[in-house]
């Protein structure tokens, strides 16, 4: 079985500041890793994914994440956030070669001017 821990339930930042949203996972098998974003009153949207290969993955809207196998982490980063990045962010994991996702509890990113 897999599990995902998002260490922060809420992260407040000022506009144009950098941000890191933390994600740690647990799995006895190799995994795929994902970050999804959920804007208010909208469905989940895939931000980025790690399947294999380079451990630094880039996604939409200037976000990136780094897979660290030794620390079982997949933290999400953005060098300069915008007001429009205010949303809930979910880290998710799936066993490699398998489809169903296990999600963390989410981190609410609050960007203020």
Rounded Cα distance between 99 and 103, Å, is 13
Binding of residue 74 to another protein (CB under 8 A): no
Rounded Cα distance between 31 and 60, Å, is 21
Binding of residue 45 to another protein (CB under 8 A): yes
Which pairs count as long-range contacts for 26-31, CB under 8 Å and 24+ apart, including other chains? 26/2, 26/72, 27/1, 27/2, 27/3, 27/72, 27/93, 27/95, 28/1, 29/95, 29/96, 30/95, 30/96, 31/2, 31/93, 31/94, 31/95, 31/96
Which of 17, 29, 51, 83: binder of another protein (CB under 8 A)? 51
Judged by beta carbon, residue 10 or residue 80, the one nearer another protein is 10
Scanning 14-22, 35-43, 63-71, 78-86 for contacts with another protein by CB under 8 A, the matching segment is: 35-43
Closest separation between CB of residue 15 and another protein, Å? 26
Binding of residue 25 to another protein (CB under 8 A): no
Closest separation between CB of residue 23 and another protein, Å? 11
| Footprint on this chain of another protein (rule: CB under 8 A) | 4, 6, 32, 36, 41-46, 49, 51, 90, 92, 97-106
């Amino acid at each position: 079985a897999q599990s995902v821990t998002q260490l922060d339930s809420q992260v407040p930042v000022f506009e144009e500041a950098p941000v890191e949203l933390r994600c740690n996972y647990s799995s006895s098998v190799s995994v795929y890793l994902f970050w999804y974003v959920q804007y208010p009153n909208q469905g989940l949207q895939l931000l980025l994914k790690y399947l294999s290969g380079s451990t630094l993955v880039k996604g939409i809207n200037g976000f990136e994440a780094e897979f660290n196998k030794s620390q079982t982490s997949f933290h999400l980063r953005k060098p300069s956030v915008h007001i429009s990045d205010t949303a809930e962010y979910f880290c998710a994991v799936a066993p490699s070669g398998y489809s169903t996702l296990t999600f963390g509890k989410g981190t609410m990113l609050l960007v203020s001017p």
